[in-house]
């Protein structure tokens, strides 16, 4: 199967900045049509212009990826406006810097809704009759425990891959640095420089 992005339609979540923006621009340079999804409308519009300036077709959709119906609407818009659908980059995510003793149920709920639930919602509109499996335990019949892995689509030629970029100097790490400064008294910028290496 041809895995080159040229001519393919790819949706990128968390596309308005950081890693998501970089992925969207790289896809555009490689000839893909790019769907952009994020909560930050103004930044999203800027990235759309950048993608189009590279000669690529693009559409953008403001959505909260933790909300199923908003993700469904984004997927359908990308498919409709860009003439198909080939791949999703589930990049959107949140981080939290807080002592373990201070973590609240709502903190955990938000992290899982954005970082895990959104992955499931992005897959479901592609094949509404299917359910996601858990490839980590080599099972296609028990979706809840490890729903961020999908092996059930393998028979249809759909692959699920993970990318692990490590620590990257993005706006998220600026926020993390500020929070570390508040918690530990470290000078602002020190944590960023230590882990990002800039």
Query: Which tokens go with 86?
Result: 């080939």
DSSP element (H, E) containing 171: helix 171-184
- For residue 113, CA distances in Å to 2, 21, 47, 192 come to 33, 21, 25, 26
CB 65 within 8 A of CB 71: yes
Please provide residue 62's backbone torsions phi and psi, each rounded to the nearest 5 degrees. Answer: -85, 120
* Residue ending a domain, choose from 73, 101, 126: 126
* 173 part of a folded domain: yes
Residue 39 CA, distance from chain mean position: 12
* Residue ending a domain, choose from 126, 152, 177: 126
> The domain containing residue 60 runs over which residues?
9-126
* 141 part of a folded domain: no
Query: Which tokens go with 140?
Result: 């296609």
Lowest mean pLDDT among 31-35, 36-40, 47-51, 120-124: 120-124
User: Predicted confidence band at 150 (pLDDT cuts at 50, 70, 90)?
Assistant: low
**Could you tell me which residue, 123 or 76, shows the higher pLDDT?**
76
| Domain shared by 172 and 104, yes or no | no
- For residue 197, CA distances in Å to 141, 163, 187 come to 43, 20, 16
CB 94 within 8 A of CB 113: no
Going by their DSSP bridges, the two strands 33-38 and 87-89 should be labelled as unpaired
- pLDDT score of 152: 64
**Could you tell me which residue, 30 or 156, shows the higher pLDDT?**
30
Lowest mean pLDDT among 8-12, 34-38, 82-86, 98-102: 98-102
* Residue ending a domain, choose from 70, 100, 126: 126
How would you class 102 by CB atoms within 10 Å of its CB: exposed for 0-12, middle for 13-18, buried for 19 or more? Answer: exposed
Averaged pLDDT for residues 9-26: 93
Per cent of the chain over pLDDT 70 is 77
| Domain shared by 91 and 19, yes or no | yes
Please give the biggest Cα pair distance in the chain: 53
* 152 part of a folded domain: no
Flag whether the pTM goes above 0.85.
Answer: no
Dihedral (CA of 148, 152, 158, 161) sign: positive
* 64 part of a folded domain: yes
| Total structural domains within the chain | 2
At 44-86, the pLDDT tens digits run: 999 999 999 999 999 999 999 999 999 999 999 999 999 988 8
- pLDDT score of 13: 92
The per-residue pLDDT of the chain, averaged, comes to 79
- pLDDT score of 135: 29
**Could you tell me which residue, 48 or 197, shows the higher pLDDT?**
48
| Domain shared by 81 and 179, yes or no | no
Residue 198 CA, distance from chain mean position: 24
Per cent of the chain over pLDDT 90 is 33
Residue 29's domain is classified under what CATH number?
Answer: 3.40.50.720
* 101 part of a folded domain: yes
| Domain shared by 13 and 98, yes or no | yes
Residue 129 pLDDT exceeds 60: no
How far, in Å, CA of 9 to CA of 50, rounded?
17
Q: What is the DSSP secondary-structure string of 130-169?
A: ----BGGGTBSS--STTTT---TTGGGT---------S--
């Amino acid at each position: 199967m041809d895995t080159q992005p040229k001519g393919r339609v790819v949706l990128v979540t968390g596309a308005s900045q950081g890693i998501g923006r970089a992925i969207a621009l790289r896809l555009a340079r490689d000839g893909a049509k790019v769907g952009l999804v994020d909560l930050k409308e103004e930044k999203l519009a800027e990235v759309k212009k950048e993608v189009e300036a590279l000669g690529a077709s693009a559409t953008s959709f403001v959505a909260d990826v933790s909300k199923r119906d908003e993700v469904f609407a984004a997927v359908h818009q990308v498919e409709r406006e860009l003439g198909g659908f080939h791949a999703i980059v589930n990049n959107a995510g949140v981080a939290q810097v807080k002592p373990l003793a201070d973590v609240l149920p709502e903190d955990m709920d938000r992290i899982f809704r954005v970082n895990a639930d959104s992955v499931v919602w992005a897959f479901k509109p592609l094949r509404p009759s299917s359910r996601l499996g858990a490839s980590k335990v080599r099972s296609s019949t028990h979706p809840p425990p490890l729903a961020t892995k999908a092996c059930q689509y393998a028979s249809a030629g759909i692959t699920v891959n993970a990318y692990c970029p490590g620590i990257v100097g993005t706006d998220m790490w600026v926020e993390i640095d500020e929070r570390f400064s508040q918690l530990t008294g470290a000078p602002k910028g020190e944590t960023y420089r230590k882990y990002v290496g800039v």
